[in-house]
Amino acid sequence: MLESRLAVLVLAAGQGTRMRSSKPKVMHELAGIPLLGHALHTANALSAGNVVTVVRHEKDLIGEYVNAYFPTTKIAEQDEIPGTGRAVECGLSALPADFEGVVVVTSGDVPLLDVPTIEALLETHLAQGLSATLLTTFLEDPTGYGRILRSNDGEFIEIVEQRDASEGQLEIDEVNAGVYVFDAAALRAALAKLGTHNAQGEKYLTDAAAEILRAGGGVQAIAIEDSWLVAGINDRVQLSEVAAELNWRICESWQRAGVTILDPASTFIDVTVQLAEDVTLLPGTHLKGISSIAAGATVGPEVWLVDTAVGQRASVIKSHVTGSRIGDDATVGPFAYLRPGTDLGADGKIGTFVETKNAVIGAGSKVPHLSYVGDAEIGADSNIGAGTIFANYDGVNKHRSVIGRGVRSGSHNVFVAPIRIGDGAYTAAGTVVRKDVDPGALAMNVAPQRNLGGWVQQNRAGTAAAEAADAAEQASTETTEQN
Ligand code: UD1
Ligand code: CA
């Protein structure tokens, strides 16, 4: 059908009181994006001339999100009259005044609804020349949903909301999914006639279907088998149930695309993540935001990865990684903390108990043990000794350290920034490096060591240390005597 004759309205004006949250319900996240983001992705994939989202509660916050991520989506504001029917009326007013054609209505709190489901609904609607076509499903526990009333021969009669339903009607397990296709003119006419005579004092969109039927329009309610696709989220219990189901589906689709996932129950992947073939994800792995993992890499167990790109055949074990890049064949962890701006070159290593931030670490370079590397640039093939700290902060400002290539720094160094270490330089163990080091030089500033003989026996007599020292002295005297 022509794009200009198709409009999609996504309802997102409700507060979502059942979430008990200062954040509007549709902004709660599921697999890394707000509920509304899921609904708008689907709405925008329908090739409709107009996509409108209806807002009211926290409209500025929601509007900002919509403008940033769905700039072509129009925003309509609902007025003080409550209810989904009023929301649709307000949404319609954002369409061109002469709009004729088909209006798809979906909810910001039904995140798993997909494009094929709506397309099938549209197809039936158009093929049969209906005025309203709505989606239903059968639920073991239909509590909270509107129930579908049908005649003895199965024809749709009306939708009764939970709060308005009789005991007998509450037994009905076919529910309204909150997904509709309407003829625009029939919808406008029906909404104009609706009141708010119900338990919630709201203008219900659900009443429009029966109203269209009364006006002589054709209405059909079509059930889908996969109820998850139309699961609505009203509280945090439903949020976690849908999150778990969506995660299964995301994991399954990556498995089918060639990713080994040992334990999908403990592996969580945002919808924004990209994975290549032959990636292996070990248990306890969380992949978040704009992250990607290239072919052959292994991530996990127990990795938290946010907005990070992992290179081919790289390995990340038991680590927390944000806003970083990990090169091909590089290794990270166990127990590493990579903060934003970390860029580890190919074949590089960030090892155990190492924290990095704004640190470009060259190809083949290693920071293997117990170090902090902040605001630094390390050339290729350098090795940073165990326990090295990049002192980047003077209490007021942050400064950079630049380490050349092929550098060997000793254990337990402090690089006091700003500092430059030339290519191929060495620094001795325990050195506090305050002055730049020329290429090929050895830097050392450690005071010469003095050994005070017999100090322990004199000052710590009777301790285990003094006894051990005595015994060693005794043994060495005996050896000398034997010789
Ligand atoms: C609604 C349906 C119910 C259906 C269920 C499916 C009505 C009256 N009931 O109930 O039959 O089974 O969805 O999930 O439509 N909204 C507005 N403005 C409002 C009120 C709500 O835009 O004044 C938006 C909400 O932000 C939400 C959507 O409409 O995204 C649905 O509202 P909600 O209050 O969750 O309706 P349900 O009680 O779930
Ligand atoms: Ca709902």
- What is the position in ligand 1's atom list of the atom closest to the CA of 230? 14
The confidence score (pLDDT) of residue 216 equals: 97
Task: Please indicate, yes or no, whether residues 178 and 56 belong to a single structural domain of this protein.
Answer: yes
Task: Please indicate, yes or no, whether residues 69 and 203 belong to a single structural domain of this protein.
Answer: yes
* Residue 425 dihedral angles phi and psi, to the nearest 5°: -75, 160
Residue 454 domain-assigned (yes or no)? no
Give me the residue label for tokens 């072919």. Answer: 295
Can you tell me the mean pLDDT for 296-321?
A: 99
Q: Which residues of 154-182 are buried (b: 16+ CB within 10 A; e: fewer)?
A: eebebbbbbebbeeeeeebebbbbbbbbb
Can you tell me the mean pLDDT for 182-203?
A: 94
Residue 44 domain-assigned (yes or no)? yes
Task: Please indicate, yes or no, whether residues 277 and 362 belong to a single structural domain of this protein.
Answer: yes
Residue 324 domain-assigned (yes or no)? yes
Residue 447 has pLDDT above 90, yes or no: no
Task: Please indicate, yes or no, whether residues 207 and 63 belong to a single structural domain of this protein.
Answer: yes
Ligand nearest to the CA of 106: 1
The confidence score (pLDDT) of residue 1 equals: 74
106 lines ligand 1 (CB under 6 A): no
Which whole-number Å values give the CA distances from 389 to 131, 354, 410, in the listed order? Answer: 71, 10, 11
Is 412 in the active site?
Answer: no
CATH number at residue 361: 2.160.10.10
Task: Please indicate, yes or no, whether residues 223 and 362 belong to a single structural domain of this protein.
Answer: no
The confidence score (pLDDT) of residue 370 equals: 98
87 lines ligand 1 (CB under 6 A): yes
For ligand 1, mutation pick of 19, 66, 81, 84 (most atoms within 8 Å of CB): 84
Does the reported pTM lie above 0.85?
yes
- Hey, what are 222's tokens? 């079509």
The confidence score (pLDDT) of residue 52 equals: 98
Number of independent structural domains in the chain: 2
Residue 388 domain-assigned (yes or no)? yes
Rounded to the nearest integer, the mean pLDDT of the chain is 97
Longest dimension (CA), the chain: 119
Task: Please indicate, yes or no, whether residues 174 and 100 belong to a single structural domain of this protein.
Answer: yes
Structure confidence by residue, pLDDT tens digits, 346-370: 999 999 999 999 999 999 999 999 9
The confidence score (pLDDT) of residue 149 equals: 98
Residue 389 domain-assigned (yes or no)? yes
Residue 483 has pLDDT above 90, yes or no: no
Whether the CB-CB separation of 271 and 31 falls below 8 Å is answered with: yes
Can you tell me the mean pLDDT for 426-440?
A: 97
Task: Please indicate, yes or no, whether residues 36 and 82 belong to a single structural domain of this protein.
Answer: yes
- 430, with CB counted inside 10 A (0-12, 13-18, 19+), is middle
Residue 473 domain-assigned (yes or no)? no
CATH number at residue 34: 3.90.550.10
Residue 466 domain-assigned (yes or no)? no
> 31 CA distance to ligand 1 centroid (A)?
22
Task: Please indicate, yes or no, whether residues 196 and 322 belong to a single structural domain of this protein.
Answer: no
Residue 294 has pLDDT above 80, yes or no: yes
Task: Please indicate, yes or no, whether residues 168 and 40 belong to a single structural domain of this protein.
Answer: yes
Which residues contact residue 226 at a Cβ distance below 8 angstroms, ignoring those fewer than 6 apart?
A: 137
Q: Which of 443, 460, 475 corresponds to the end of one domain?
A: 443
Band of the pLDDT at 479, cuts 50, 70, 90? confident
Band of the pLDDT at 238, cuts 50, 70, 90? very high
- What is the position in ligand 1's atom list of the atom closest to the CA of 81? 23
The confidence score (pLDDT) of residue 94 equals: 97
Residue 65 domain-assigned (yes or no)? yes
The confidence score (pLDDT) of residue 2 equals: 79
Residue 96 has pLDDT above 80, yes or no: yes
> 84 CA distance to ligand 1 centroid (A)?
6
| Domain span including residue 15 | 3-230
SS3 for 347-366, per residue? CCEEEECEEEEEEEECCCCE
Taking the C-alpha atoms of residue 468 and residue 326, their distance in angstroms, rounded to an integer, is 49
- What is the position in ligand 1's atom list of the atom closest to the CA of 11? 22
Atom 1 (ligand 1): residue with closest C-alpha?
A: 178
Taking the C-alpha atoms of residue 217 and residue 415, their distance in angstroms, rounded to an integer, is 79
Task: Please indicate, yes or no, whether residues 214 and 268 belong to a single structural domain of this protein.
Answer: no
Band of the pLDDT at 109, cuts 50, 70, 90? very high
Task: Please indicate, yes or no, whether residues 203 and 302 belong to a single structural domain of this protein.
Answer: no
DSSP secondary structure letters along 316-344: E-SEEEES-EE-TT-EE-SSEEE-TT-EE
Nearest to 406 by CA among 389, 393, 425, 419: 425
Band of the pLDDT at 125, cuts 50, 70, 90? very high
Task: Please indicate, yes or no, whether residues 295 and 427 belong to a single structural domain of this protein.
Answer: yes
Structure confidence by residue, pLDDT tens digits, 390-420: 999 989 999 999 999 999 999 999 999 999 9
One-letter amino acid identity for 305? L
Residue 244 has pLDDT above 80, yes or no: yes
Band of the pLDDT at 301, cuts 50, 70, 90? very high
Nearest to 378 by CA among 351, 398, 350, 397: 350
